[in-house]
A and B are shown apart, each in its own frame.
Chain A
Amino acid sequence: MSEYYLFHDSSKCIGCLSCEVHCKENKRLPVGPRLCRVMTVGPKMVGGLPKVDFIFMPCFHCERPWCVAACPTGAMQKRAEDGIVFVNEELCVGCKACMRACPWGVPQWNPETGKAVKCDYCKDRVDKGLEPACVAKCVTKCLHFGRPEQMVDSRRERHAKAMAAVGWEVTLRQPTAPASKPRKPPVRKQAE
């Protein structure tokens, strides 16, 4: 897990893919790799109306990442200071073991460099005190990034912790009843 959370408020999300575009722009990626994905779920009829769910899928920066274990060259690393999982391009030889190992298909192939590339929360930006590109450019402001301790809303915190910590156990559960889905958090002013 990383020390950051990246919270997606799916009730506000309109599936515009700004996040994906800016993610690629920031990493100067060619056609092909998509480091974060907005997955469209649905439509399904809810109360007689069709409903679509947008699920935002960046990297979960797992506690014990499959990709890091799979990587034979030590290119895939987890930062000790904050838990961000990233690729060291110098060391990557393009064997794609990380792509094969990741249960969510996070690591992507960059055909230009012949190396793996993945979401690293835009660590270059984060290290400068900026937000990841996807968050910074989200049109509806449905993406939130930060450290859990900066949170004021306890439910959001719970959610973030759950998202960050348990990564795959949460997501690999059998499909859950809609009721247990994180609901839209009440809108509040962030404490300064």
Chain B
Amino acid sequence: MAQESTCPVREIRQEVASALAQESIKEPRARMRAEKLLVLLEDIAQGRAGSEHLADLKAVARSLTERQDAHGADLGQRILSLLESQGEIFQSHILTRNCASGACDMLAPAPCQMACPSGIDVPSYVALIGQGRYQEAVNLIRQDNPFPWVCGLVCTHPCEFVCVRGQVDSPVAIKELKAFAAEKALSEGRYLNPPKEPATGHMVCVVGAGPAGLTAAYFLALKGHKVTVIEALPMAGGMMMVGIPRFRLPREVIDREVAFIEELGVEFRFNTRLGVEVTLQSLRKEGFEAFFIAVGAHASHRLAVPGEDLPQVLDAVRFLRDVAMGARKRPGERVLVVGGGNVAIDAARTLVRLGCREVTLLYRRSRSEMPANVEEVRQAEEEGVRLVFLTIPVEVMGEKGRVVGLRCLRARLSEPDARGRRRPVPIEGSDHIMAADAVVTAIGQRVLTEGLEHLDLRWSSWDTIVADTITAGAGREGIFAGGDVVLGPATVVEAIGAGKRAAEGIDRFLKGLPQPTMPAVPVRRARLEPWEMAASLKMDLKRCEMPLLGPERRRITFQQVELGLGEEQARREAHRCLRCDICKRCGRCVVVCRDRMEIDALKLGYVGQPGESPTDFRMTSERCILCGACAANCPTGAMQMEDRGEERLLILGGTILQRERLERCQGCGDYLGPSRYLDFVRKRTSGLAQAFAGRLLCEKCARRATAESKSGMSVPQG
């Protein structure tokens, strides 16, 4: 997947290099400075730069503008204005070792890391798991995301959608690996919080102890600020706790991970609702200088049909919250759930576990249009949830103030409208009543705006706060917002990402630093040695299957459905990773081998466009002569050729593509090359006389033999 995008660092580096090569900078001192610039830019592009580099670059560029050399002065000026306009890109090269354009070979990011809303260095932690270093893997994750276990269980894993291994067979089970490492790390000991920066004396108030608020609190505490989290509920976790049912996310997982955040000195005030127990003014009086509003979206959309106010009509958000808080009474025997999203599925599966005899989910559209996660729909059906599609509820039927059924219409899908949407159209005369003694509605959530009016913020027409998603700034001095309250109902990992960005925005606000104008580029945390394994093994490793609790047991308990991977399974899964943090999939090796050497040994389909050609690491050994041209042309060192003992190996990101025994020099016994390679050369030179009577000599011995024959004496060895 060759990224064809430009990078200002690389471009200006090339300009300086060509100016030097063409000797267009004449004045000696200007030239010297240009050479210095080249070294600095080279360091930045290669990821070797330190914190001083940017200042140095600026200083040298400025001094270049002052020299009497038109071309040099012009270059210096160009660099200065680049630093002005695109300083953030230079920063990300230095601070995060990541060139988002991928143009800087050594800093090309892995797609999974770029896809992660919280920016976790996926290849590095997966590699650590592959080496059995679970504690380190978790510590690395927690540099970007304080909830490795939660995410390991419930993340929507956008990373896996772009996983390059998915082009070979199926994506690496990144989410499952995260859960495994977190569980393992906790069972062996504890998480290790990153070191805290010295106290700043600033006070920040986070409103809402959900994933966004807790993540912001974590990062702000690490930056040395004093953080207090206020939370309306009596416990931390937000929707993770009261929206996601326990059979997907056990409570102790949240509790454990929150405890490590608390350990950083974050203070919690539960049962405290903004606008009720406290107000912005009262908090400001307490000394809080910055606020992060992360209250989530805990209100429900209504069906807007007659009979909705009957007591047995529950909204899913409240129903799930009550169950999470310990209410385990089933709402009825026959329950209908209205909706097609993940919340509807969660509610239906919860109803089954509460012992409802019959749980039916109604959805207005067809199965293929259901937004819920396919895997979870399947699990729900295994547990006995019945799905009914193309059905629109029109009235809740009640008798004596109790629900007795739901009057519905059947629907068909309309032709696509201007926006390509196919709307469910009720079919005339298809009225029918579905018997039920309770109804749970899950047709969407919105932000509960009560208590937030006094903040005087801008609200969108959808009742979400209008805030900058890069800095979380909500347009008022010291007030920031993020998570579901800004995005509308979204995912845990997006909320975590929002909290992380907010912490950065708040920190800059408190320190009076300028705010970024572009989304931050994720930080590369490491460049670990790849795990070595034979190509055939690498190909044979199939994606792990998550063992699940049996459906019979799932129907009657809230026990976790996913049983977790075993250690052997997890390590094997980690070894499936293609290490896209090292190999940037530029395809240069394939081109060199196929078009220049005309050997065509490398079958690496995944370096091209998806689906263009197949990938098979095992094929390499059929034709590869171990000439090393691919390795010599690999810009990132992902392709390595090395002589080890009696063998020469070709290794791509740990995958051993080819290995052959080495022939020896008949003069000194040094290793020469594998016979395939020697034959390749011999064949090409077969039309010429044989040197040294056909003896195989290394370069040293050849030179010596020649010198000896010219002089008539013997050359001393060595």
Interface string of A97-139 (1 = CB under 8 A from B): 1011111110000000011000000000000000000000000
Does residue A175 face the partner (Cβ distance < 8 Å to B)? yes
C-alpha spacing A175/B707, complex, angstroms: 10
B627–A97 touching, CB < 8 Å? yes
Contact B713 A93 (CB under 8 A): no
In the complex with contacts A66-B688, A96-B628, A175-B712, A41-B707 CB distance below 8 A: yes
Contact status A64-B703, CB under 8 Å = no
Q: State in angstroms the CA–CA spacing of A176 and B708 once bound together.
A: 9
Q: CA A71 – CA B629 in complex, angstroms?
A: 12
Q: Which residues of B contact A55 (CB under 8 A)?
A: 707, 710-711
**Which residue of A37, A41, A101, A173 is within 8 Å of B684 (Cβ)?**
A101
Distance from A173 Cβ to chain B, minimum over Cβ atoms (Å): 6
Say whether A39 contacts B704, CB under 8 Å: yes
A95: Cβ under 8 A from any B Cβ: yes
Write the nearest CB–CB distance from A160 to chain B, whole angstroms. Answer: 14
Bound CA span A166–B633, Å: 36
Asked if A48 is at the interface (CB within 8 A of a chain B CB), the reply is no
Closest to A114 in B: B632
B714 on interface, CB distance cutoff 8 Å: yes
Q: Determine if B681 is an interface residue (Cβ-Cβ < 8 Å).
A: yes
Q: Which of A93, A94, A174 contacts B709 (CB 8 A)?
A: A174
- Per the bound structure, the CA–CA distance linking A66 and B691 in Å amounts to 10
Whether the pair B688, A69 counts as a contact (CB closer than 8 A) is yes
Residue of A nearest to B591 (CB): A93
Among B119-127, B153-161, B503-511, B672-680, the stretch that binds chain A is B672-680
- Could you tell me the distance between the alpha carbons of A42 and B677 in the complex, rounded to whole angstroms? 35
Q: Chain B, interface size: which category?
A: 35 or more
CB of B224, distance to nearest CB on chain A (Å): 45
Q: Check: A73 CB closer than 8 A to any chain B CB.
A: yes
Chain A 174-185, CB-CB to B under 8 Å as 1, else 0, gives: 111110010000
A residues contacting the other copy or chain, number (CB 8 A): 43
Name the contact of A73 in the complex, choosing from B597, B628, B688, B712 (C-beta under 8 A). Answer: B597
CA distance A100 to B704 in the complex (A): 15
CB-nearest residue of chain B to A52: B713
Nearest A residue to B714, CB-CB:
A41
Tell me the B655-711 residues at the A interface (CB within 8 Å): 672-673, 677-678, 680-681, 684-685, 687-689, 691-692, 698-700, 702-704, 706-711
The docked-state distance in angstroms from the alpha carbon of A69 to that of B711 is 28
> Judging by beta carbons under 8 Å apart, are B684 and A70 in contact?
yes
| Contact A72–B597 (Cβ < 8 Å) | yes
Is there a chain B Cβ closer than 8 Å to A40's Cβ?
A: yes
Residue of B nearest to A37 (CB): B703
CA of A94 to CA of B714 in the docked complex: distance in angstroms?
Answer: 33
Complex Cα gap A91–B629 (Å): 12
The answer to whether B632 touches A94, judged by C-beta atoms less than 8 angstroms apart, is yes
Contact of B678 among A37, A66, A100, A103 (CB under 8 A): A100
The yes or no answer to B596 lying at the interface (CB within 8 A) is yes
A3 in contact (CB, < 8 A)? no
A181 to B712 Cα, complex, angstroms: 8
Q: Which listed residue, A101, A115, A172, A181, touches B632 by the CB 8 Å rule?
A: A115
Q: Contacts A94-B629, A96-B628, A114-B632 hold; do A72 and B710 have CB atoms under 8 A apart?
A: no
Task: Please report which residues of chain A, range 26-65, place their CB below 8 angstroms from some CB of chain B when the two chains form the complex.
Answer: 37, 39-42, 44, 53, 55, 57, 64
CB of B114 to closest CB in A, whole Å = 28
Q: Is the CB of A101 within 8 A of B596?
A: no
B549 adjacent to chain A (CB < 8 Å): no
Closest B residue, CB atoms, query A103: B691
B716 partner residues in chain A, CB cutoff 8 A: 40, 42
* Chain A residue nearest to B683 in the complex (CB): A70
**Beta-carbon contact of B628 and A105 below 8 Å:** no
Q: How many A-B residue pairs have CB under 8 A?
A: 115
By beta carbon, the residue of chain A nearest B716 is A40
Kindly state whether residue B347 has any CB partner on chain A within 8 Å. Answer: no
Q: Does B427 contact A (CB under 8 A)?
A: no
- Bound Cα distance A42, B715 (Å): 6
Encoded as 1 (CB less than 8 Å from any B CB) or 0, chain A from 75 to 92 comes to 000000000000000010
Q: CB-CB < 8 A to B673: which residues of A?
A: 100
- Does A171 make an interface contact (CB < 8 A)? yes
- The complex places the Cα of A37 from the Cα of B699 at a distance, in Å, of 12
A176/B709 in contact, CB under 8 A: yes
Contacts of B709 in A (CB 8 A): 171-176
Return chain B residues, CB-CB under 8 Å to A53.
711, 713
Q: A69, A97, A105: which contacts B703 (Cβ < 8 A)? A: A105
Bound form: Cα–Cα A114–B698 in Å: 20
Q: Is B592 an interface residue (CB 8 A)?
A: yes
**Residue pair B596, A96 in contact (C-beta under 8 Å):** no
Q: Please report the C-alpha to C-alpha distance between residue A177 and residue B703 in the assembled complex, in whole angstroms.
A: 20
B598: CB under 8 A from chain A?
yes
A103 touches B597 (CB 8 A): no
Question: Chain B residues near A41 (CB, 8 Å)?
Answer: 707-708, 711, 713-715
Known: A72-B598, A181-B712. A39 touches B707 (CB 8 A): yes
Docked Cα-Cα span, A189 to B559, in Å, equals 102
User: Given that A66-B685, A97-B684 are known contacts, is A104 also in contact with B702, CB under 8 Å in the complex?
Assistant: yes
In the complex, the chain A residue whose C-beta lies closest to that of B630 is A93
B711 cross-chain contacts in A, Cβ below 8 A: 10, 41-42, 53, 55, 181
A96 & B703 in contact (Cβ 8 Å cutoff): no
Which of A40, A103, A114, A178 contacts B712, CB < 8 Å?
A178
Give, as a whole number of angstroms, the nearest-CB distance from A138 to chain B: 18
Chain B residues closer than 8 Å to A71, beta-carbon distance: 684
List A contacts of B684 (CB < 8 A).
69-72, 97, 101
Shortest Cβ distance from residue B189 to the other chain A in the assembled complex, whole angstroms: 44
Contact B596 A72 (CB under 8 A): yes
* A105 close to B680 (CB less than 8 A): no
**Which residues of A lie under 8 Å from residue B713 when comparing CB positions?**
41-42, 44, 53, 175
CB distance from A94 to the nearest CB of B (A): 3
Q: Which of A102, A114, A181 contacts B633 (CB 8 A)?
A: A114
Q: How far does the Cβ of A183 sit from chain B's closest Cβ, in whole Å?
A: 13
Docked pose: A39 CA to B710 CA in angstroms = 11
Q: In whole Å, how far is A17's beta carbon from the nearest beta carbon of chain B? A: 15
> Once the chains are docked, how many angstroms separate the CA of A66 from the CA of B597?
17
Contact residues in A for B712 (Cβ distance below 8 Å): 175-178, 181
Contacts of A66 in B (CB 8 A): 685, 688, 691
Chosen A-B contacts, 22 in total, with CB atoms closer than 8 Å, are: A39-B703, A39-B707, A40-B716, A41-B707, A41-B715, A42-B711, A66-B688, A70-B685, A72-B684, A94-B633, A95-B632, A97-B627, A100-B678, A101-B681, A103-B691, A114-B632, A115-B632, A168-B691, A171-B706, A171-B710, A172-B709, A173-B709
Q: Which residues of A contact B (CB under 8 A)?
A: 10, 37, 39-42, 44, 53, 55, 57, 64, 66, 69-73, 91, 93-97, 99-105, 114-115, 168, 170-178, 181
Besides the contacts A55-B711, A69-B684, A172-B691, what 14 more A-B pairs have beta carbons closer than 8 Å? A39-B703, A41-B708, A41-B713, A42-B713, A53-B711, A69-B685, A71-B684, A93-B596, A96-B628, A97-B680, A101-B684, A102-B699, A104-B703, A175-B709
Q: Which 6 A-B pairs have the closest CB atoms?
A: A103-B691, A94-B632, A105-B699, A39-B707, A114-B632, A95-B627
Interface residues in chain B, defined as those with a beta carbon under 8 Å from any beta carbon in chain A: 592, 596-598, 627-629, 632-633, 672-673, 677-678, 680-681, 684-685, 687-689, 691-692, 698-700, 702-704, 706-716
